Chains A and B, each alone.
Chain A
Amino acid sequence: MNTKSILESLILKEIIPRQQAEKILEFETQKPFSIHWELRSILYLGISLLTSGLGILVYENIDTIGHQAIITVISALIATCFYYVYKTRQPFQWSEINQTTKYGDYSLLFGCTLFLILEGYLQFQYNFFGTRYGIAIFIPTLLFFLLAYRFDHRGVLSMAITGLASWLGITISPMSILTKNDFSSPGLIATGTILGLALCLIGWLSETRNLKKHFAFTYLILGGNLAAVTGLTGVFNQEFKIVYLLIVAMLCLFLVYYARNSQSLIFLLMGVIYGYFLISYSLFAYLPDTILAAFSIYYFMLSSVGVLFFLLNVKKILGLKK
């Protein structure tokens, strides 16, 4: 079944006239082959390789290349990037800027990454910030937040959020949230939960107040994951079990509610999975053993069928449109 046979059958059913079919066929044979995303991926890869290379080069040759030379070159690159971004800027607005310039996004990202390298180098070589590491992390974080909002860049926003979290001592990026954090310290769990909830709140506000509505996803996914993971860890091994339990339960309800409002099903999935964890854990932790013995054989089977039923009928239950 190809274009021609589909068109033939549409003509037979008298949905389209023959003339229109010929026009469509002409469009199909003439339409150009777009390699837009392939080229953009190559560009990303190039930026990623070049910044990695520069990063290593700077550290390996710290004694041989003149410091001034390194700083000058990197600063010049940063200045060029930011100048380009500045020159091609669009007027600020609270909604998504649809038609950004061709390289503005990439240039901004490149500049920000170089900025991190430069700052690290200054600290390593000249002890620029002394032992006040907090400031060293806080400066790029603040800068990135400003840049993200001014130039409407989700990637830089996520870099800023990551920076904010690491200022508080937490690794937040989705791939390493579980492996790189030390969840045995109670302080970290509390901080993580509060930060996660705060990010969720900001995301919710951006969505409802229409302040950079499209940033909500980034805030919510990073914040929601952080709050849920730290909260669940709190439920598992902290003193204030009940507080964390309530927090995670509220969070899960919020995620499902948000999914319903924004029609974004990834939050539904998050809410369901974290909620399921929470409920199963609480049942097994708090129910008396005699009930558990009879009940646990059936629990997982029946509960997963229940979740499947919920997901299958989620459109009806939550009134989703799509």
Chain B
Amino acid sequence: MKKGYNESWVQNLFIQSTARSWSKNNLLTDGQIDQVEATYPESFYRPGIFVKIGLFLFTIFGGSFFAGFLSLFFFESAGNKTFAILCLISAVCYYFVLEFLIKERKLFHSGIDNALLYMANLAVITFLLVLFEGLEFWQYCLFVLLVNGITSLRYADLFTVFITITSVFVLFASFLIKFPIGKSLLPFAIMILSAAVYLLNKKIESLYYQECQKLIKIVVLITFYLGGNYYIVRQGNALLADLATNNAPEIPFAIVFYIFTAAIPLFYCLKGLKSKDRIFLVVGLLAVAFSCFTFRYYFDMLAIEIILCIAGSVLILFSLLIIHYLKTPRFGISDDVSEKRKLANLEALLIANQFGQAPEADSVKFGGGNFGGGGAGNDY
């Protein structure tokens, strides 16, 4: 598949950013950095995140009104067929503008191209949905997979890749649940598929798809964990069998899933620390949190507020101890501030949202707002 963006520029961009990280650590001189930039040029248009958001929003806005404008010409002969044709025409226009702008304005995931790609894909999928009515669910899934998969290969866009990988899993699961044996083996099958995708993904080495591969890795790590998670399996099992979901019946091989629920997060964390892989570590930490939720859901021994207090104290103590322990780096792990706090400003806003609920004047139950908010606190 021919790539949508200039491949050698993508490569040069990577070399430049690597070189810059070295110069930050005083491994390259300023003169050398200038030389690197001259030898490996790239002239992508890559605005800051906020301009990107603005470009994205206004492209979606303008694009939708463009489709509305087109529909004026078809107003008289309204019907399914005309709607399909309308979708196809807008999709062609979007793809054309997308290609044109990438060539002319040298866009590189800069908001406009993302928006045009999503609108074009959506239009093509709608076209297929309207054209082929009354198909089965997995066939529609296949459409979504094909459209997003092909465009992902060309444009390496994170969102289309996400849709692609999700539809692979949905397609796979919707096949399996047609057979009774598939239904009962679904969790294992999901885990095997995740592992297979992970290994396949690891084999491909391509700078062009680097970010996409990271995303795929995150997704399959999560699906692998959820496939083995006791809560998900038990609830999913009840859902598939059309039983009351509130108190799902016990599942076969429960002990296996308990072991998975406990072991996979720990494995992720250890693997992350050992091979210095941040994706494994962070997914592992989140998985630990979800596992705690799972066990608490089925072994309801203590009141929620006591658990919150204990969990909070344990987390505070745990992090303080580790921070203290890592004052000098050990086992290749450190507690250095490797990057400056870029997000200090946003952090402050988050605090305003979480902790800053000042007492409300007119309510009787007057006090720490919603008990100081507490991100996860409300979900329990």
Contact = CB atoms under 8 A, between A and B. Distances in A.
A116 B54 contact: no
Interface in B260-285: 273, 276, 278, 281-282, 285
Interface string A232-268: 0000000000000000000000000000000001101
Interface string B13-43: 0110011001001011000100110010000
Interface stretch (A52-60, A185-193, A282-290): A52-60
Of A52, A55, A276, A307, most buried by chain B (CB within 10 Å of CB) is: A52
A295 interface: no
Of A6, A54, A55, A103, most buried by chain B (CB within 10 Å of CB) is: A55
Interface stretch (A87-95, A162-170, A204-212): A162-170
B359 A136 contact: yes
A269 B52 CA distance: 9
B376 A49 contact: yes
A115 to B, nearest CB: 9
A24 interface: yes
Contacts of A230: none
Interface string A151-185: 00011111101110011010011111000000000
28 contacts: A1-B207, A6-B19, A24-B22, A27-B27, A32-B334, A34-B335, A34-B337, A34-B338, A36-B334, A38-B282, A46-B318, A46-B319, A48-B372, A48-B376, A50-B308, A57-B309, A123-B367, A154-B348, A155-B351, A163-B356, A169-B361, A173-B349, A265-B51, A297-B72, A301-B66, A304-B61, A304-B62, A308-B59
Contacts, number: 306
Contact of A53 (B45, B306, B365): B306
B39 A51 contact: no
Contacts of B352: 155, 158-159, 161-162, 172-174, 222
A311 B55 contact: yes
Contacts of A158: 348-349, 351-352, 356
B264 to A, nearest CB: 18
A116 B361 contact: no
B123 to A, nearest CB: 16
Contacts of A20: 27-28
B16 to A, nearest CB: 10
B323 A39 contact: yes
B316 A308 contact: no
A46 B315 contact: yes
A124 interface: yes
A218 B353 CA distance: 13
B131 to A, nearest CB: 27
Interface size class on chain A is: 35 or more
Contacts of A175: 353
A228 interface: no
Contact of B367 (A3, A38, A55, A134): A55
A167 B359 CA distance: 9
B360 interface: yes
Given A51-B372, A55-B367, 12 more contacts: A6-B15, A20-B27, A32-B329, A36-B334, A45-B315, A46-B314, A49-B315, A109-B355, A158-B351, A173-B349, A308-B59, A312-B45
B347 interface: yes
B332 interface: yes
B105 interface: yes
A251 to B, nearest CB: 17
A81 B298 CA distance: 36
Given A16-B28, A52-B372, A39 B353 contact: no
